[in-house]
Chains A and B, each alone.
Chain A
Amino acid sequence: MSFDRRRFVRTASGALAFVSSYGLLARAGIAQTQPIKIANILDRTGGLNPYCLKQIKATAMAVDELNAAGGLLGRKLEIIFYDSQSNNQLNSQYATQAFARDKVDVLIGGVTSSSREVMRPIVNRFRGLYVYNALYEGGVCDRRHVSTGMVPAQQIEPLVDYVVNEKGAKKAYILAADYNYGQITSKWIQKYLREMGGQDLAVEFFPLDVTNFAPVLSRIQAAKPEVVWSALVGDAHMSFYRQYESTIGKKNLMLVGTVYGAGRENVALSPAENEGVIMATSFIDTLPTAAAKDFVERFKKFSGEDDYIGEYGEYGYRGVMLWAEAVKKAGSVKPDDVIKALGGTQFNGPGGLYTIDGQTNHTVMDIHLAVGNANGGFDLLKSFKQRQPVDTQQVCDLIKNPNDNRQYEPKL
């Protein structure tokens, strides 16, 4: 078959017309039957993935359940997943790709504070919405950002109160991971300690790759505190709990962890190493409620995995569900409409009732104090209903200042 110039021009222009028709149709609003797109940027690989793997599956399960119930606003939901490989460079690239190329309707993801701070400006630039599902140091005041995890006022204040007033342990030695979470959290511990009549003997910071805690264990013993507070994070720091048990022992010196359990330490450590660590949480697998039990069963069935899920896994579920409730309330999936509907949005989840506080875009939730037991799990000590994110509320008012866009830090 001869392919002369005329035929070529005809074919080429036909092809061109065909290709651009998608663009035309999309702009004509035929997009209404297209799925709602959720960008999920988490670290499936790399050093941070212990915090993410369950959350990835829980997010998928939430979307699955919503679709099974007919979707949102008559449209199906679709997750576009990006593995940021514990690399902030990729967080930046994927966030931009999600909004610019894939035209997603919401960004859900990021676990570390640094990944959140890298992605927030991008979300602002594209005027999108960002749901951040992790416990963190508090203080982010940004109407395009929603936080569904615990902040210091919710978990640290009751912990300090319990340890100082009920357990009588006033003299504290504090260890924290050396980055903004650890730095700010340790300040909160010191603040609450001093307000409640406790005393911080020393604060030490550790880069995330330290595994040798022998020097600090010696220093702790020399200082003779009544309790040791740990805001240590990640795999390497887990060795602290091992070395603590073999050198000092929780029977001899109380140990409290502010983020213990979030990294599923109870799974990685031996029962003896887990037993006795006091922590605060908004969800553990063994919460004695029907909602929690049901969630755990559904998750095991959905994921095919049998092991401990943990708080970060459940965050993924509640984040999607809370956003979905806001979408339903707003009647639209457009970020600016959803943002207006955020305040007061509620969802009854595995950990109880969640409410988004319109002043800060943070979440009101039930908090429980728990202690590690000899079976690799946790026993509940005390529960507090519907704790407000007081720390952020004190500095942030998105209703009065909707253009606020920064993270506030506590002053001692």
Chain B
Amino acid sequence: MVQQFATGAYLVLFSVSTLVLISLGLAVIFGLMRVINLAHGEFIMLGAYCCVFSVKAGMPLWAAFAVSALAIGVFGVFVERVIIRHLYGRLVDTLLATWGLSLFIVGAVTTFLGPQGQGIATDFGNISVGSLNLSVYNLILSAIALGMLAVTWVLARHTRFGLLIRGTMQNAEIASAMGVSPDRVYMVTFGFGSALAGLAGAVLVPLTGVSPTLGLAFVAKAFITVITGGQLPLIGTATASALFGTIDGILAYVYSSVVGEVGLLIVAVIVLRLLPSGITGRMRSGL
């Protein structure tokens, strides 16, 4: 009985953390800039490739994480300057343009890196709870995901730059009247969101490996989590992830992963029907 509960809790925690991990980058960008980056899955994939290459080049895993986050952050800034910048305010157009970007990146990676999956091994082993083995790395992933959430919160709430970003998010005109360049704020925000995506990919790679189509598995779930979460990026994503992750985790454990996924999707539809602007749609303040 305790065993089953521990297993269930472990699986739910893992499911929630995975959702937080893959959604946070998209949420930051959507919540702060009203831009939907459908190439988010590909940013995750690129971060995963970065991590694999870094580790194969000899770096320790932690360094590879950092390198991936940084590299994809820079790539995100590049994308923002070239594409996103022209499409502010046009929600549908950013969605479509980033969709095109996503297809393009998948095609480019397949052409230059080949379609074969790659991966790196984890030497983290497992810990035993009773007669059950739990993968240590899954727990590490959960810790990192929650850490990312905490760090983003701290950055937003307790640093000057966070203040500037929140101000621009609430009212870009006044912010610019006070000397803040919204252009630069958006660029940095997009870069930060991309870095979060890259980090997510890097953290996932020891579990899932990487191939050019990795992003496709994640983008739909991340997209749905963020939209259902509503306009506040952190509270919304955290709540939506908790809700979906719990449902998916429990259903997948009791029945099968298909039931978990379909259950997640159905709950999303119900939530959106009851709260048409997402979970935090009506909330005025907060992050």
| Interface residues of A, Cβ cutoff 8 Å to B | 45, 47, 49-50, 53, 178, 204-207, 209-212, 214-219, 221-222, 235-236, 238-239, 242-243, 245-249, 264, 267-270, 272-273
Residues facing A in B233-273 (CB within 8 A) are 249, 252-253, 256-258, 260
A247 touches B126 (CB 8 A): yes
Say whether B124 faces chain A, with CB atoms less than 8 Å apart: yes
Interface size classification for chain B: 35 or more
Residue of A nearest to B126 (CB): A247
Say whether B132 faces chain A, with CB atoms less than 8 Å apart: yes
A221 touches B133 (CB 8 A): yes
Residues facing A in B122-143 (CB within 8 A) are 122, 124-126, 131-138
B217 touches A264 (CB 8 A): no
Residue of A nearest to B251 (CB): A215
B125 touches A222 (CB 8 A): no
A47 touches B257 (CB 8 A): no
A206 touches B115 (CB 8 A): no
B14 touches A214 (CB 8 A): yes
Question: How far does the alpha carbon of A230 sit from the alpha carbon of B257 in the complex, in Å?
Answer: 17
B115 touches A215 (CB 8 A): no
* Contacts A235-B117, A242-B209, A268-B116 given; does A247 touch B257 at CB 8 Å: no
A383 CB, nearest partner CB in chain B, Å:
28
A residues less than 8 Å from B258 (CB atoms): 178, 207
Looking at the complex, which one of B7, B15, B107, B135 makes contact with A246 (CB distance below 8 Å)? B135
A243 touches B11 (CB 8 A): no
| Interface residues of B, Cβ cutoff 8 Å to A | 3, 7, 10-11, 14-15, 18, 107, 110, 115-122, 124-126, 131-138, 206-209, 211, 213, 216-217, 249, 252-253, 256-258, 260
Closest 7 pairs (CB-CB, A-B) = A270-B121, A268-B117, A247-B135, A211-B208, A239-B208, A215-B252, A235-B117
Given A216-B257, A247-B133, A268-B117: 12 more A-B contacts, CB < 8 Å = A50-B116, A53-B115, A207-B257, A207-B258, A211-B207, A214-B138, A218-B253, A219-B253, A242-B121, A247-B126, A269-B119, A269-B209
List 9 A-B residue pairs with CB atoms under 8 Å apart, sorted by A's residue number.
A178-B258, A215-B11, A215-B260, A216-B257, A235-B213, A239-B209, A242-B207, A242-B208, A273-B119
Looking at the complex, which one of B116, B134, B135, B213 makes contact with A264 (CB distance below 8 Å)? B116
B residues less than 8 Å from A272 (CB atoms): 121
A221 touches B131 (CB 8 A): yes
B256 CB, nearest partner CB in chain A, Å:
7
Residue of B nearest to A267 (CB): B116
A268 touches B119 (CB 8 A): yes
B residues less than 8 Å from A206 (CB atoms): 256-257
